[in-house]
Structure 1
Amino acid sequence: MTRKKRRLMFVLLGLLVLFTAVGLTLAALKDNLVFFYSPTDVKEKHIEEGRRFRVGGLVEQGSVVKEGEVVRFVVTDLVNRLPVTYTGLLPDLFREGQGVVAEGRLGDDKGFIAETVLAKHDENYMPPEVAESLKASGKWEHGPPSPGQ
């Protein structure tokens, strides 16, 4: 085998190892990606039951019902609504009319079963997709700036 052929073999072997490493990395990351959707996205896209994702929007006024540790509420983007069930302690900032991001899965009744709930007090701390979705609806405006801004 000549030096040129040997060098070509090493380059090809190196590329094969590189492509294998990239493929394995992408396959591992695919399982850990958590996508974010608004209630309208959840309604329009057919998300399979059991797939983990995040949903965000505003907690609908008058929708919070507490039954011991189980809390039921509705997340809305002011266009569509999605019922959410969460078991556990809610964050201190959680209240009706405030922004929320919940991570979990769709249940068999098309309700959302949250495993984690994050409460946000305005769109400055809200994922940009939620803030844009709410602003695009034309029914929500940014409130006065909080002190220190």
Structure 2
Amino acid sequence: MTCPSLLHRPAAGERAARVVHSDGVVGQFSRFVFVGGVSSAVYALLYWLLNGLGDVPANVVGSVISSMLANEMHRRVSFHAGQYVGFFTAQWEGGALAVLGLVATSLALSWFNSVVSDPAILTEVLVIGAVTASIGTLRFIALRWVFRPRPV
């Protein structure tokens, strides 16, 4: 008799789901991008809500809260490292990388506001998004290969 597993060929969607849920680079990167999208949406909402405080304060508060959310989601979802890396370690490692992003986005936002008079909030968010995407790629590399969890 033929092996039962040979009778069922996984559909393309099933194969894609296996890749996304795997701990290979493609699976981790796809989850990393998803978490980045969620935390970026939280950032954009906070930036929009707090923009009355000024551009830089809204950027700082939005960055801190969305980075803490992203660090925890990366620990649990992107890298499946919840059992290897604690909450505070993830916040420390991810937070240190997020500070680089905060400095870069603050500098980009300050420069953009000096070049464009009275820009729309959506345009500012797009500028910050471009910088964040670049920093996010570097962050993935660092979290995947530099700060990777070491099984006990």
* TM-score relative to the length of structure 1: 0.30
- RCO higher in 1 or 2 (8 Å CA, sep ≥ 6)? 2
Structure with the higher helix share, 1 or 2: 2
* TM-score relative to the length of structure 2: 0.29
